[in-house]
Structure 1
Amino acid sequence: MTRIPLIEARDLCREHQQGEQTVPALRHVHLRIEAGEFVALAGPSGSGKTSLLNLLGALDRPSSGELRLDGQELALLSKTELAGLRLRKLGFVFQHYSLIPVLSALENVEYVLVLQGVPAAERRQRASEALASVGLGALLDRRPDQLSGGQQQRVAVARAIVGRPALVLADEPTANLDSDTGDGLLALMRDLNQRTGTSFVIATHDSRVMQSASRLVRLKDGAILEDSAHALPEACPA
């Protein structure tokens, strides 16, 4: 019996209109990602990393081609159905954390479960456990402005995993962190991947992320230049 891939993209294209000009962001991308993979998307600025990540996260629609998540053709889903799919199956980690400033770390993580309709007692327990798993069990009540950048990004990771998604998408998660903090965050995500089987796809310029990934996909000018099962050591240009 053939296993259904977690992500399957066929001949994926994305174009943007700039005045009368059509600008291609992605060109004929074919990509298959299995459950449990830890994938780095690498390439220079403008190579299509974020555009591809947005399509994989059902935040944008392709101009042409097919994209399936866990066997579901995303083009057939309404905006409401896509929102439900993101809530159930996807977690997001953004470069600038995107935490709600007036909420505590616990409340920021718990908010995903509120949207999922999880009962109050269960969601508090799960949010607490998620924060403990990223090393912030003692900082549940602190607001984002009371946390360091690395701690805020760990809250973002806890928020991404608390809903038990099949796939976590991260856009330059180490970009604003110093080397030691970035190394710690990367080790944390790799550990979560190995312990829970959650898939990670990370858009990055960071050579450490590329080296740690079990698979490296390089993009250039919106097309896949290389797809390797083993990360390569050199960094892509910023």
Structure 2
Amino acid sequence: MKLLLTSAGVNNKSIHDALVDMLDKPISKSNSLCIPTALYGHPWVGPGVNAWEFISGNSENPMVDLGWKSVGVLELTALPSIDKERWVPLVQETDVLLVAGGDALYLSHWMRQSGLADLLPGLSSVYVGMSAGSMVMAPEIGEFFVGWTPPGGEDKALGLVDFAMFPHLEHPMLPHNTMAAAEKWAEEMQGPAYAMDDQTAIKVIDGAVEVVSEGQWKLFSP
């Protein structure tokens, strides 16, 4: 699976060009599924209007509104209650998964509970994450980002990449997301860790990692 792990969506030309390069067809000929689940677990963003804005393409973070041939909704909390034959082929055939931000551990929990986590490594589609939708791919998220507490009480995520992410670096509406805070957070991580602002994304293809940025980022090595 190809990963485009963004902080705030496909919001500049460099990130947009990276996405187009990862697709084997134009955006206008690509089918997508959006996953809003992470929004529900975060007290600041959902459920409610933010979930609607993401699904409808009316959010400030370009993902659903990029001009896809089609956009469907995949709600992970519903999947355990329906037959896999109804949704697994849909996921396997889609060109792009668009995964909203919110709470990374809530998203990780429902990716596992739904069975989507088991499918992800074998998919040929492009996975585009935003904020928590990106962080969920890491081995861990760090205490700094723990909001919703999973049943096991740990900050472990899916571990489909070997690095962690600190999104929204130096964001004016998030005064605690400073470089100093990122440096302290990185000291807790067991592997490489990236601090990245909203103009930055990380592209992963077959294990090869490339930073795509028109802003500020920093790699912390263990």
Task: Give the alignment's TM-score, normalised by structure 1.
Answer: 0.35
Higher relative strand content: 1
Higher relative helix content: 1
Rg comparison, structure with higher value: 1
Task: Give the alignment's TM-score, normalised by structure 2.
Answer: 0.36
